[in-house]
Structure 1
Amino acid sequence: MFSKFIHRPVFAIVISIIIVFMGSLSITQLPTSQFPEIAPTTVNIFIAYPGSSADVLVKSTLITLENAINGVQDMRYIATDATSAGEATLRVIFEPGTDPNEAVIRVKTRVDQVMPLLPELVQREGVVITPIQPSMLMYVNLYSTGKNMDEKFLYNYANVNMLPEINRVKGVARSQILGSRTYAMRIWLNPDRMRAYNISVDEVMKALGEQSIVGRPGRLGQSSGIKAQSLEYVLTYKGRFSEPSEYEDIIVRANSNGESIRLKDIGKAELGSEFFDIYSSLDGHPSASIVLKQNYGSNASDVIKQVKEKLEEMKETFPPGMDYKISYDVSQFLDASIEQVLHTLRDAFILVAIVVFIFLGDWRSTLIPILAVPVSLIGAFFAIQFFGLSINLVTLFALVLAIGIVVDDAIVVVEAVHAKFEEFPNITPYMAVKKVLGEISGAIIAITAVMVSVFLPISFMSGPVGTFYRQFSITMASSIVISAIVALTLTPVLCAMLLKNHHGHERKKNLLTKGLDKFNSGFEKMTGKYVGLLRHMVSRKWLTFAILLLFCAGTFYVNKILPSGFIPSEDQGTIYAIIQTPPGSTLETTNQVSQRLQKICEHVDGVESVSSLAGYEIMTEGRGSNAGTCLINLKPWGDRKHKVTEIMEELEEKSHNLGAKVEFFEPPAIPGFGSSGGFSLRLLDKNNTTDYQDFYKQLYPYNEPPLFWIHLNVDYPFNLTGILYFPKIKQSYEIQKDKIQLYSNQVFVTEEVKDIVPEFLMLLQGVIDSPDIPLNVSRSYLQGDPNVKKINNHITKKVADKLESIFNTDRKEFEDKWDSLGLFVKYGMMTDDKFLEKANKFHIFGDVDKEKFYTLDEYRTETQALQTNKEGQLVILYTTDAVQQDSYIQAAKQKGYKVVILETIVDASFI
C-alpha cells in the first residue's frame, strides 16, 4: 500500500507539509507552563469582619460556612485561616481535574444558603468567592524614589489608577494591594474635653451621620400635571464633606441660646488612612505591594507578558519620583528553564545529525533523517494540543528523548535502500526504494506498535504523578506514530529523489572520506570482536544469566540508596523570609525587625533587591501585628556565584539575633501546588480517650490511668503547646511533684520549674513546649520570667474548664473522682480568686448518707422552702463528724432536713 506514494511523490510531500503546518499552528496557540497543571482546583473564599478577633470570626462565621460547604461535590478538604485583623480565608480544595467554574457555582450555592445566618457586617462587607491559583503569579512594588510620597499616596494611586487596568488583563484572577491605606477622614477626640462637656462618642457619631451625608434635595418647578411651570430647577447639594475643616465645623451640640459645640472644640479631623495594618518597603523606600494571581487554565507567560506591557504603558503617566519594580514573577524561572530545554533539544538534534553522517558516510543519506525528524517533532505539537496538554518541561523533555527514537525509522529506510544498492549495483534508487517498502513496511509498523504500547499505558496513571507521565507518554507516543507515517511516506520519496547508487564505483579520496573509511574499518573490527564474544557466551548460558542477575541486583541496590522525591527543588532566584515576632508585638516592632533583615540581605552577595512587609504573612496570606514577610529577589543565575541554598544558609546565620523567629523558604517547585517549597502540614486533633491514655502510659509506664488531662495549644498572647495529666492519687504524693517536662522549641529546659503550675496543681504531669521561654538564661531563674506566669494562669484556666466540662457532661464520673480531686480543688479555691470563681460551679458536698452530692447552689435550691429560720433565711445544716453528731443528724433527717458533710475545715469557709 505504501509503495503507491513512490508514484505520487507530491502527495507524500504534501502530507508532511500539512503535518508541519498543523504542528506550527498548534505551537502558536498552546499555553506555556513550567509543569503540567497538577494542582487541585481551589476555590478561595475571602471573609472580612472588621474589628473582630480570630476567635470571633471562627465562631460567628467560619463554622457556619464550613458546615454549609462541607460535602460539596468533588471536594477533598477545607482549609481555613483566620487572623486577628478581622479577615479570614477559606479554601475549598477539589479533586484534580474539577472544572473551576463549576466548583465556584457549587460553593456559591452552599454559601448563599447560609448568608442570612452570618453577622450583618460580614454580609455588608461581602463574602468574595473566586477560583484561584494558590501561589503568586507576580509581585509588583510601586515605590517612591524620593521623600515626596508616602505609603498612603502610593497605595491610593495604585488603587485608583493601576488596579482597574491590571484586573482587565486576560488571565488575571485577582490583583490586590496588601494592606488598606485607603484615604479616610480620621476624627481624633479629646477625652478630657468630652468629659468636661459631657459629650459621648455616640453623640459625635450621630452628628457626623446627620451632617456629612450624600443628599438628594430634588427639584423645584417640576411639572405637576395641573398647571404649567415657567421654569424648573434641579437642586444640588454639596454632599459628604471632603475637607478636615468642614468636619471640624460640624455642630455636635446646640442649645436654645444659640450656643453650640463644634467638633473642633473636642477634637480634630485629618485626612489619613482607613487602617494602618501593613508597612511596605522596597530596598528602604516606601512602597505599595501588589500581588497578582492567575485564573485556572491561563497561560502564565502570556499573562505576565501582557501585565508587563500594561505596566510600561502606565509608567509613562507616573508622577515624578515614582517607579515600579517586579520583585517576583514565575515567568523568569519558566523562561530560563524552557530556554535550557530548547538548547538541549537543539544540541541533541545536531548530535544525532553528526552520528548519522559518521555511520552513513554520505551527505545525501544524512539529509533525509535531518528532514524527517523535524516533521515528526513539529507534528507532535498538534497531538499535544489535541489532547489538551501544554508546552512544558515534561513535554519538551519527551521530545528530546523522542529524537533518538524517531530518527531510527528514517535510518532503517535509508539503510535498507543502501543494502539494495550493495545487492544490486546497477539498480536505480526508485526501484531500490520500491523493493524496500515491500519488505520493511510491516517491520516499521510492528516497531511503532511495540513502542507505542510501551508508552501509552502510562497515560492511564492517576494522581499528580499520573498527570506528569500522561503528558510524557502522549508526547512520546504521538511523535513515534508520526515518525512511522513520515518513514512510510516522505522518507521513501526523499530516498528516491536524493540518493545515488555509488556501489561498484570507486569514491573520490579526500581527507573526509579517508577519516570515514578509518572509522568504518575500526568499527567493523570492534563488531567482529563483539560477535566473537557472543559466540563464546552462547555456549555458556549460566554466564548470561549471571550478568542479568548482577544487573538486576545493581538496579535494586541503586534504587534503595538513591533518595526519592516528587520534583527536585531548583534555584528559582527568589527566597521567602517569614518573620514572627513575639506574641503581642506591635506592628512598629515587627517593621523594625523586617527593616533590619532587609539591611542584612542587602549586604549578602547575590541579592538584588528586598521587599519587606510588616503585618502580612505570605504563606497563609494572613495578617497580624507580629507577622512579617520579606521577598528576597536574587541576581540572575549567570551574575551570582552562590546557589540559593548557600544564600539561605548565610541569611539564617546572620539573622538569628534579630529577636524574632525568621524562617527562609523557596517558592513552590510547581506553581499552584502550595505557597512554598517543601512540605506543608496541617495537624488535626482527632485524638480520643484511648490515644491520650496510651501516650500517658508511654510517658509514665508504672502509673495508673490519669483522672483527667488537658490539651494545650495557644498562639496568642504567647505560644504554648503540650499535654498535662492529673494522676491518680497515691498515699505519698510528694514523690509525684515536679514531673512536667518543659521544652523551648523542642529543646529540653527543665522539669523543676516550681512556678510553671500553681501549687494546688503540683501533681500535674506531662510535656509543655513554649518558644517564648528563653534558653539564654540560667534555668534556676526561669521562675522570674513573665511568660512562666502567663503559662501558669493559662493552665489554671484550662484545668478549671476541664473540670467544669466533666461535671456538666458526666456528673457520675466527676462524683466518683471527687475523693481524689476534692482536696486540690478546695486548696485552689482558697489560693486563687479566678479559680474560685470558676470552681463554685462544680465544687460539691456529699450528704451524710453519701448518696447524693450538691453544689452550694443546688443545695440552696433544694432546701430553700424547708430549711429557713424565723427571718426566712436559709439554714445550712452540716456536720464535720457524722459519728459523734449522729443523734442530731437523725433528728434533722426526721424533719426532712438535708445535712451535708464538711470533711475539712476548708469547706466551712465556702459556706
Structure 2
Amino acid sequence: MFSRIFIDRPRLAMVISIIITLAGLISLTRIPVAKFPSILPPQVRVRAYYPGADAETVAKTVAAPIEKEMNGVDNMLYMESTSSNDGSYMLTITFAVGTNPDINQVNVQNRIQLALPRLPDEVVAQGLDIRKRSLNMLAILVFYSPKGTRSKIYLSNYIDRYVKDDLVRLKGISDAYIYGERRFSMRIWLDPRRLTAMNLIPQDVIAAIRSQNIQAALGSLGAEPIGKEQQLQITLRTKGRLKSADEFKRIVIRTNASGGVVRVGDVARVKLEGESYITSSFLNGRPSIGMALYRATGANAMDAMKEVREELKRLSKHFPRDVDYKIIMDSTRYIRASIHEIILTLFLTAFLVILVIYVFLQNWRATLIPSAAVPVSIIGTFAVLLAMGMSANTISLFALVLAIGLVVDDAIVVVENVHRLMEEEGLQAREATIKSMEQVTGPIVATTLVLLAVFMPIAFVPGISGQLYRQFAVTICVSVIISAICALTLSPALCATLFTSEIHLHQ
C-alpha cells in the first residue's frame, strides 16, 4: 500500500509537504503579477515616413508594396494600416495567440526586406521602424511646465533625449510612446514666386541641401606610406552637418560665371521648429507632453511600476527649471486593490473552512490534519504556475479561493474513517490508519479524477476565451492534485502520530 510508506515514516511525508510549500513560497517572490492573464494576441508595428507626401501618395507608394509582401506571413491573423497626410504610415500586424513575439518580428523584418527595393528613396533614407507592440499599457505619464515657460518643443525633445531611453531600459518595460512628440527639425518654406523668378524647382533646393549637409571623411595628411623626412601626421576634420538656421540659409543652390550666387535663404524661409504639429496636449491648460509605458510580456507589473517611480524620482532631480511630471494613469493601482481584496477573501475563506471543520470534529488534533492541507495545496500551486509561465492575477487567485473548499475534502475523509475504525473496532491509531487507507485510497483517487474531469476541459477551450480561463482550470486542477497527494501522504502520517486511543470526535 502506497500510504503505508508514510505511516511508517511520518518525517518523509512532512519533508515532502515542506518541499512543496517552500517551492511555492519561492515562486511567490518570482511569479509575474498582472491584472489578467496574457490573452491579447501579439502584434508587430511597422512605421515609415515619406516627407511631403499626402495620404494617397503614401498609400500607393509605401503601403501597397509593404502590405503585398506582408500578406501571408506565418501565424498572421490580420493587419491594419493608416496612411496620413503628414506623410506617416503605420502598419499593425496581429498574430495568433500564443505565438513567439520575437519570431513574429523576425518574420516581419524578412518580408520588409523584400519590399525595400520598391519603396521611394526618401522613405528608405528615413528608415523603417519595426517593433514588437505590447497592448498591456502600464502607465501614462505627463511632463509639463507648471509656470508655462517651457514650450512643447522643448519638453518633447528633453523627454526624448534624457527620459525615454532611461525608462525603456527598465526591467519589465517593452516600449515607451510619446504622444504629441515634436522633435526639433529644420523647417524650410519655399517661396514659389522666388523659385520661378530664378528658374529653380524644389528638387534643386533638396539636392543642394543633401550635397552640402553631410558628414564627410577627409582622411589624413602625412599618412603612410611616408618618407623619412615626414615628421607629422594630421587627421583632417570638417565642420560636419549644419546645425543652425543661419547655416542652412547660406547653402549655395546655384552660381554663375559672373559671380552670382543663389542661396537657400534667397528663396525660402528657414526656421528651427517642431517636426510635426498634428497633435497637441495640455494638462490643466499648461503645455504638456504625454508618454505611455507598455509592460513587457511576462513581466511583473507591480515591480515594473515600482522601478518606474524610482527612476522618475531620480531623473526629476536633474529636470530643468519649470519642468515637472505627473502619473495620470497607473494600472497597478487596480491590480493592487484587486489582489488585496482577493487575498483578504482567501484568508477569510481559509479561516471559515477551518472553523467549520472544528465545529463538526470538536477536536483540535483532528482539525489540524485537514487544515494542514490548505497551505500546502494553495502555496504549492504557485510553483506549478510559475513553471508553466503563468502569472498571479485576479483569475488565478479567484480559482484559489474556490479551491480552498475542495482541498480539505480528501483529508476529512481520511480523518473520519480513521476515527470510525478506532471507535467501532477498538484499533490503535496506527492500525486504524493503515486499515483506513486500504479502504479510502481508491475513493480519494477516484474523487480527484472526477474533479479533474470537471475542470480540465476548460484548459483546452480554443481562442482568447480559452486563454483567459486556462489559468483558472490549471490552478484548481493543480491544487486538487496536491491535496490528493497530501491526503495519501501527510494526512495518514499525522493521523498515526497525533491520534490517541482516547480521542473522541463529536458525531
2-side partners of 1:183 and 1:321: how far apart?
A: 20
1-side partners of 2:425 and 2:97: how far apart?
A: 60
In the alignment, is residue 279 of structure 1 matched against residue 242 of structure 2? Answer: no
For residues 837-892 of structure 1, what are the alpha-carbon distances to aligned partners after superposition, in whole Å with 9 as ceiling and x for unaligned? xxxxxxxxxxxxxxxxxxxxxxxxxxxxxxxxxxxxxxxxxxxxxxxxxxxxxxxx
Residue correspondence of structure 1 range 174-573 to structure 2 within 5 A? 174-187=175-188, 205=206, 208-209=209-210, 211-249=212-250, 269-423=270-424, 428-502=428-502
1-side partners of 2:75 and 2:213: how far apart?
A: 50
Flag the 1:400–1:229 CA change in 2: closer, same or farther, 3 A.
Answer: same
Flag the 1:386–1:421 CA change in 2: closer, same or farther, 3 A.
Answer: same
2-side partners of 1:458 and 1:303: how far apart?
A: 31
2-side partners of 1:255 and 1:47: how far apart?
A: 39
Flag the 1:396–1:503 CA change in 2: closer, same or farther, 3 A.
Answer: closer
2:125 counterpart residue number: 124
Flag the 1:351–1:167 CA change in 2: closer, same or farther, 3 A.
Answer: same
Flag the 1:362–1:275 CA change in 2: closer, same or farther, 3 A.
Answer: same
2:18 counterpart residue number: 17
2-side partners of 1:493 and 1:80: how far apart?
A: 65
1-side partners of 2:351 and 2:214: how far apart?
A: 75
Residue correspondence of structure 1 range 37-56 to structure 2 within 5 A? 37-56=38-57
Contact (CA 8 Å) 1:30, 1:385: kept in 2 or not? yes
What is the TM-score normalised by the length of structure 2?
Answer: 0.89
Flag the 1:68–1:203 CA change in 2: closer, same or farther, 3 A.
Answer: closer
Flag the 1:256–1:233 CA change in 2: closer, same or farther, 3 A.
Answer: same
Contact (CA 8 Å) 2:144, 2:289: kept in 1 or not? yes
Flag the 1:207–1:121 CA change in 2: closer, same or farther, 3 A.
Answer: closer
**Other structure's SS at 2:343 match:** helix
- Give the structure, 1 or 2, with the largest relative contact order (CA under 8 Å, sep 6 or more): 2
Deviation at 1:482, TM superposition (A): 0.9
Contact (CA 8 Å) 2:221, 2:235: kept in 1 or not? yes
Deviation at 1:91, TM superposition (A): 2.2
Contact (CA 8 Å) 2:181, 2:289: kept in 1 or not? no
2-side partners of 1:251 and 1:113: how far apart?
A: 38
2-side partners of 1:194 and 1:98: how far apart?
A: 55
2-side partners of 1:117 and 1:192: how far apart?
A: 34
2-side partners of 1:7 and 1:261: how far apart?
A: 102
Percent of aligned pairs sharing the same letter: 39
1:679 counterpart residue number: none
Contact (CA 8 Å) 1:417, 1:432: kept in 2 or not? yes
Deviation at 1:363, TM superposition (A): 2.5
More off after superposition, 301-310 vs 469-478: 301-310
For residues 437-465 of structure 1, what are the alpha-carbon distances to aligned partners after superposition, in whole Å with 9 as ceiling and x for unaligned? 23322222222222222222332222222
2-side partners of 1:317 and 1:327: how far apart?
A: 21
Contact (CA 8 Å) 1:131, 1:296: kept in 2 or not? no
Query: What amino acid sits opposite 1:66 in the alignment?
Result: E
1:742 counterpart residue number: none
Flag the 1:439–1:69 CA change in 2: closer, same or farther, 3 A.
Answer: same
Deviation at 1:198, TM superposition (A): 7.2
Contact (CA 8 Å) 2:33, 2:299: kept in 1 or not? no
Query: What amino acid sits opposite 1:483 in the alignment?
Result: S
What is the TM-score normalised by the length of structure 1?
Answer: 0.52
1-side partners of 2:54 and 2:436: how far apart?
A: 81
Deviation at 1:424, TM superposition (A): 5.5
Query: What amino acid sits opposite 1:280 in the alignment?
Result: S
Flag the 1:501–1:320 CA change in 2: closer, same or farther, 3 A.
Answer: farther
2-side partners of 1:35 and 1:233: how far apart?
A: 63
Deviation at 1:177, TM superposition (A): 1.8
Contact (CA 8 Å) 1:13, 1:490: kept in 2 or not? yes
Contact (CA 8 Å) 1:132, 1:296: kept in 2 or not? no
Contact (CA 8 Å) 1:45, 1:128: kept in 2 or not? yes
Flag the 1:228–1:482 CA change in 2: closer, same or farther, 3 A.
Answer: same
Query: What amino acid sits opposite 1:419 in the alignment?
Result: R
**Other structure's SS at 2:143 match:** strand
Query: What amino acid sits opposite 2:85 in the alignment?
Result: S
Deviation at 1:20, TM superposition (A): 0.7
1-side partners of 2:201 and 2:445: how far apart?
A: 91
For residues 550-594 of structure 1, what are the alpha-carbon distances to aligned partners after superposition, in whole Å with 9 as ceiling and x for unaligned? xxxxxxxxxxxxxxxxxxxxxxxxxxxxxxxxxxxxxxxxxxxxx
Contact (CA 8 Å) 1:132, 1:294: kept in 2 or not? no
Contact (CA 8 Å) 1:23, 1:378: kept in 2 or not? yes
Deviation at 1:282, TM superposition (A): 1.9
Q: Which has more radius of gyration?
A: 1
Flag the 1:326–1:484 CA change in 2: closer, same or farther, 3 A.
Answer: same
Query: What amino acid sits opposite 1:339 in the alignment?
Result: H
Query: What amino acid sits opposite 2:457 in the alignment?
Result: P
Deviation at 1:401, TM superposition (A): 0.7
Contact (CA 8 Å) 2:219, 2:236: kept in 1 or not? yes
2-side partners of 1:35 and 1:22: how far apart?
A: 23
1:154 counterpart residue number: 155
2-side partners of 1:145 and 1:385: how far apart?
A: 45
1:86 counterpart residue number: 87
Query: What amino acid sits opposite 1:68 in the alignment?
Result: E
Deviation at 1:345, TM superposition (A): 1.0
2:103 counterpart residue number: 102
Contact (CA 8 Å) 1:143, 1:323: kept in 2 or not? yes
- The runs of 5 or more residues in structure 2 that have no matched partner are none
Flag the 1:198–1:57 CA change in 2: closer, same or farther, 3 A.
Answer: closer
2:29 counterpart residue number: 28
Flag the 1:386–1:136 CA change in 2: closer, same or farther, 3 A.
Answer: closer
**Other structure's SS at 1:29 match:** coil
Contact (CA 8 Å) 2:175, 2:295: kept in 1 or not? yes
Contact (CA 8 Å) 2:142, 2:328: kept in 1 or not? yes
Deviation at 1:370, TM superposition (A): 2.4
Aligned-CA RMSD value: 2.9
- The runs of 5 or more residues in structure 1 that have no matched partner are 508-519, 525-911
Deviation at 1:473, TM superposition (A): 1.9
1-side partners of 2:252 and 2:122: how far apart?
A: 28
Query: What amino acid sits opposite 1:476 in the alignment?
Result: I
Query: What amino acid sits opposite 1:321 in the alignment?
Result: D
Flag the 1:104–1:360 CA change in 2: closer, same or farther, 3 A.
Answer: same
Deviation at 1:291, TM superposition (A): 2.2
Query: What amino acid sits opposite 1:439 in the alignment?
Result: Q
Deviation at 1:255, TM superposition (A): 6.4
In the alignment, is residue 59 of structure 1 matched against residue 67 of structure 2? Answer: no
Deviation at 1:72, TM superposition (A): 2.3
Flag the 1:245–1:58 CA change in 2: closer, same or farther, 3 A.
Answer: closer
1:553 counterpart residue number: none
